Amino acid sequence: MTESERWEQTRLRITGLLDGETDIIAMMATVACELHHAFDHFHWTGFYRVTAPNLLVIGPYQGGHGCLRIPFDKGVCGAAARTRTTQRVADVNAFPGHIACSSSTQSELVVPICGPSGTVLAVLDLDSDTLNAFTEADQLNVEAVCSDLGARWGTE
């Protein structure tokens, strides 16, 4: 199966599973599970939620344990939340302020999830033990999943 076929299949499965669901935790847990098992280079897949100004707290995830709290001024996740832009980092060791929750992480893709008015609600963090693991297709597809989740989030 090609990368593009695998993404198509994964996106269809997620859309089907979320159909009719309104509980955001159920949706985050399902997305984390489906993405994590879709590609071999996804070694940690999960959400950090904005629970207070400038603070991310861990949400549903798959993989080894992650840091519980990340301020906006720390790490790749903090940068994604602060700037509300996707961070695709080929080598985390070259990223100033990277948080090493797991010493095996080499590259990351972190996508912000924003509500209809642009407020950042959460980030979706994918970590890989391989350098430069995340492709442009990974970024575009994860961004589409996050855009859909932002629209479904409900009240902000």
> Which residues contribute to the site for ligand SME (CB under 6 A)?
44, 66-67, 70, 75-77, 98-99, 101-102, 105, 108, 125, 127
57 vs 99, which CB is nearer to ligand SME?
99
Of 73, 66, 56, the residue nearest 120 (C-alpha)? 56
Instruction: Report the residue number, 34 or 108, with the smaller CB distance to ligand SME.
Output: 108
CB of 105 to ligand SME, least distance (A): 6
3-state secondary structure the chain: CCHHHHHHHHHHHHHHHHCCCCCHHHHHHHHHHHHHCCCCCCCEEEEEEEEECCEEEEEEEECCCCCCEEECCCHHHHHHHHHCCCEEECCHHHCCCCCCCCCCCCEEEEEEEECCCCCEEEEEEEEECCCCCCCHHHHHHHHHHHHHHHHHCCCC
For ligand SME, which residue has the nearest CB? 75
Q: How far is the CB of 67 from ligand SME (least distance, A)?
A: 5
Q: CB of 7: closest distance to ligand SME in angstroms?
A: 22
Q: Which is nearer to ligand SME, 106 or 141 (CB)?
A: 106
Please say which residue, 18 or 113, places its beta carbon nearer to ligand SME: 113
Give min distance, CB of 87 to ligand SME, in A: 8
